[in-house]
Amino acid sequence: MSSCIQRVHDSLLLSTLSLFLMTFSTGIQAADDVVVVLEVFSVHKQEGGNEAFRPAERAQPGDVLEYRATYRNRGSAAARKLEATLPVPAGNIAYIADSARPQAVLASLDGQRFDAPPLKRTVKQADGRQQVETVPAAEYRFLRWKLGDLPAGASTTVVSRMRVAPLEAQAAAVQGGKQ
């Protein structure tokens, strides 16, 4: 089971990278001139509280991954209305609240409707009343940054952290919630 879950992690890591590279958009023809470089690092605490970063070639349960996407405009004109969208794979990787930089990030549960975190939802109670509750950041499936205009020759980077689910949670997901 452990090697199976490791393969799932590796697959999710690669899928996330691929999806991320495909989901940025701009509002003008200069989109072809914008190049995205995505890097994923494993975050490790060192003595004294400092953090160390290593390229995340493999992900282990409980690991914190930092995604860094750098958008570089190689064109001769500004890329206008640039947006970056990062999908968060369901079930095995969870967004860590307040880890996005720039902090002006939008989040979504479905990839269609984006709002500023914390997201809210209305839940019908047993007695029929409607109650608004905060959606846990671990349930966010997409993050989006409205980067605005990117001048010719300029670059900008977006960053977010995710946590790989513990083995117990993954096993429950694989087995359809059966323990």
In single-letter form, the type of residue at position 49 comes to G
Q: What percent of the chain has pLDDT over 90?
A: 62
**Which domains are assigned to the chain?**
2-174 (2.60.40)
The 10s digit of each residue's pLDDT in 51-90 is 999 998 888 899 999 999 999 999 999 999 999 998 887 8
CB-count burial class (<10 Å; 0-12, 13-18, 19+) for 92: buried
Q: Which residues of 31-66 are buried (b: 16+ CB within 10 A; e: fewer)?
A: bebbeeebebbbbeeeeeeeeeeeebeebebebbbb
